Amino acid sequence: MGLIQDVGTKLVANVEQVILGKHDEVQMAFIAMLCQGHLLIEDVPGVGKTVLAKSLARSIGCSFRRIQFTPDLLPSDVTGDSIFNQQTREFEFRPGPIMAQIVLADEINRATPKTQAALLECMEERQVTVDEHTYKMPEPFTILATQNPIEYEGTFPLPEGQLDRFMMRVSLGHPSPADEVGILDTHQFVHPLETIEQVMTVAELLEAQESVRHIYVDALIKEYIVALVNATRNHPDVYLGASPRGSLALYRSSQAYAAMQGRDYVTPDDIKLLAQPTLAHRVILSPSARIKNLDTRVVIEEILETVPVPGTRPATGARREKRG
pLDDT in tens, 12-65: 999 988 888 888 889 999 999 999 999 998 877 777 788 888 888 889 888 888
Question: What is the arithmetic mean of pLDDT over 79-105?
Answer: 86
pLDDT band at 85 (very low <50, low <70, confident <90, very high): confident
Query: How high is the pLDDT of residue 166?
Result: 94
Question: What backbone phi and psi angles, to 5 degrees, belong to 79?
Answer: -85, -25
Residue 182: pLDDT band (50, 70, 90) is confident
pLDDT of residue 312: 59
* Structure confidence at residue 314 (pLDDT): 52
pTM: 0.86
| Secondary structure element (H or E) that encloses residue 67, with its range | strand 64-68
Instruction: Please indicate whether residue 49 or residue 251 has the higher confidence score (pLDDT).
Output: 251
DSSP string, 72-105: T--HHHHHEEEEEETTTTEEEEEE-TTSSSEEEE
Tell me the mean pLDDT in the region 266-295: 91
Which of 12-16, 29-33, 97-101, 172-176 has the least mean pLDDT?
Answer: 172-176
Stretch among 43-52, 132-141, 277-286 having the lowest mean pLDDT:
43-52
Q: Taking residues 171-192, what's their average pLDDT?
A: 85
Look at residue 131 in the predicted model and tell me its pLDDT.
Answer: 81
Residues in a beta bridge with 67: 105
**Whether pLDDT at 196 is above 80:** yes
Among 203, 260, 214, 255, smallest CA distance to 4 is for: 260
Q: Give the length of the chain.
A: 324
**Given this model, what pLDDT does residue 37 score?**
92
- In 35-173, which ranges are continuous DSSP H helix? 49-59, 75-79, 113-116, 120-125, 160-163
For 5, the 3-state DSSP assignment is: helix
Give the whole-angstrom CA distance, residue 271 versus residue 308.
Answer: 12
Give 60's DSSP letter. Answer: B
Which residues make Cβ contacts (< 8 Å) with residue 51, sequence separation at least 6?
A: 18, 19, 193
Q: How many CB atoms lie within 10 A of CB 300?
A: 24
pLDDT of residue 53: 82
Interacting residues of 80 by C-beta distance below 8 A, sequence separation 6+: 93, 94, 95, 96, 98, 99, 128, 130, 135
Per the omega criterion (within 30 degrees of 0), is the bond before 159 cis? no
Whether the predicted pLDDT of 317 surpasses 60: no
pLDDT averaged over the chain? 87
Q: Which percentage of the chain shows pLDDT scores above 90?
A: 39
pLDDT higher at 156 or 155: 156
Phi-psi group of 21: left, alpha or beta (phi > 0 → left; psi -120 to 50 → alpha; rest → beta): left
- Rounded to an integer, the average pLDDT of 149-153 is 62
Query: Which residue segments constitute the domains of the chain, with CATH numbers given?
Result: 213-318 (1.10.8.80)
Report the pLDDT value the prediction gives residue 313, as an integer from 0 to 100: 55
pLDDT for position 256: 95
List phi, psi (to 5°) of 76: -65, -25
12 vs 23: CA distance, rounded Å: 7
Cβ neighbours for 58, distance < 8 A, ≥ 6 positions apart: 64, 193, 196, 197, 198
Q: DSSP string of 194-225? A: GG----B-HHHHHHHHHHHTTSB--HHHHHHH
> Does the pLDDT at position 219 exceed 60?
yes
Among 121-125, 250-254, 316-320, name the most confident range.
Answer: 250-254
- pLDDT at position 307: 92
